[in-house]
Structure 1
Amino acid sequence: MTDAATDAGQPAAPLLTPGTVVAFLRRRGVIDEATPTVRELSGGVSCVVLRVDAGERSVVVKQALPRLRVQAEWSATRRRTLSEAAALTVYHDITPDRVPGVVDVDETSMALVMEAAPLGVANWKSMLMSGPDAAAGDVPELLGRTLGRWHRHTRGDLQLLSRFQDDEAFEQLRVAPFHREVRRLHPSVADALDACVDDLTTARECLVHGDFSPKNVLVGAGLCWVVDAEVAKAGAPVFDVAFMVAHLMLKYVRAGRAAVFRTAAGRFDAAYREAAGVAEPPPRLGWHVAALLLARIDGMSPVDYLNPAQAGQVRRAALRVLDGSDVTVADVWDALAEEDR
């Protein structure tokens, strides 16, 4: 994929590889170590992700792909790298202990260089997949407080939010493959899905991360970092809250309805609302959670860890709560639990 093109259709710089990234970093003045080590990181569905350890400096280089590494034809603007760098900078200013620092951004190659986490940390998703006990620690509260602070500090800041008005990446990587795709497949719940899409495409309340999920939380060595903000935009805070809760629900189903996941989601929500300074959940939170559950079963990016029976249970529960009046998150949890009876 070295002949990737820019969004304007002009030739772009080649995608970085383990063999070229060191020279790139030297040209950018990031490293001068004679013999750095390079490792390609897993999970690079939408980006090239390379870790470079050079003496006392360790960085991660992330470069947006023009076409995602999935079976379906799925393209997205490479300029999302610039939005991610800007969002991480904002988040680092608010919570410097929860986000890696941005080291460099190259607009020509659409490459972001950021601090690397210490070796040995794990993403929270892998920990949750290994056993439900990983949901019982303090990570849910840490994440709730972090997200709440981000939303509170950016809420209504028109100068800051003016830098995040481009919805292209969010539409390409969230709304179209999730909500619009499941609306096509399930027209019976179109009214609820349309209401969710309207929230996500019209609101400009605060800076929304857009991928606030366990796979983007790094835990270990006294660290809890949130990464991967490539679809960040000015938007509706309900999306970030719903995204985390929906992912905990999917892990709940996979783990045979382990109650610790529902408890963790409640702890996350309580910590979020306290830090965000809001007394009530975001409007239509239950519908947003159900829409995302359905999207991760029947959208363009289904989860790969549920068996067919579990996927069917999630689908039926989501469709049931989306077919009617607005629901609470508790109603969604109850619908998932009832599917196992």
Structure 2
Amino acid sequence: MKSIVIKNNYGLENVVVEERELPHVQENEVLVKIQSVSLNQLDLMIANGAYGTIPLPHTLGSDAAGIVEKIGSAVTELQVGDVVSTHFLQDWQSGDLKSIHLKNRLGITVPGVFSEYVALHESSLVKVPKNLNSEQASTLPIAGLTAWEAIVNVGKLKPGQTVLLQGTGGVSIFALQFAKAIGAKVIITSSSEEKLQKAKELGADEVINYKEIADWQNKVLELTNGEGVDLALEMSWAEVGKTIEGMKIGGKIAVIGLLGGVNTELSVLGIIQKSLSVVGIQIGSKSSYEAMNKAIEVNNIEPVIDKIFQVNQLSEALDYFKNGKHFGKVVLNF
């Protein structure tokens, strides 16, 4: 079978497709024939050595979807033929996140799922929404669930409230779709007029080109009658000070990404003055995943896929994703 691995040394140039043996299925495991996988910033970070303690070679990937082809003798929840997607934090089944839940993270602490076949414990798989195919379902494990966690479980966004979204990557676009399904107002930022227009077509109420409006936080305040937004999804962290200025008193900032780097200058005064909550988002539990899938079915939400590549186009796909050309998600088919 084909697997996407990082080998010899770190760096995207060392990510290759190679042949591996089919995995053996234990009694509590399920063999899944993977049809589609989707790319995340996490994959680039791992390949570039951000988690440098990972022994090489290492199979990449956290997000995949496919069809159950074989089940172990003790499997009770899944059957051959089920269409499933992977659950990133395998041990986080429900409740609050605990340190023990971080021990088995697909593609980080354990081998990833960018392979034609994977064998996983049945609890590490989730049945996909009935309105989605495998390509669409492959986008859910990190981007979809992170957005759901930020909008629903942490942000507790309500109808009529306003959320600020940064950029038009997978998490932001899922968050846009979830927020509109709730009945909230959405302000989204990007440096691309083309992407902002696409966001409006998806339902964004207001758009801001941060390349043209450097002090975009003032525009956020203007668009909210000086009040600020109830919730913001912080994707960059480099300009979190501007995010703070654009917040409503008592608002929440859900920290999703670190595209602007891991460190920043932060004014604690702004957080105190506005009584803000700043919360880091660590994807979500399996029970949260299942709740999200139900909402996707009920609201007939379809993940936005920018481009689909074949696995033999791996280098092209990585380059496309790395350069931020995408709107929504980038998918690879086996």
Bigger proportion of residues as helix: 1
TM-score of the pair, normalised by structure 2: 0.29
- TM-score, normalised to structure 1, is 0.28
Greater share of strand: 2
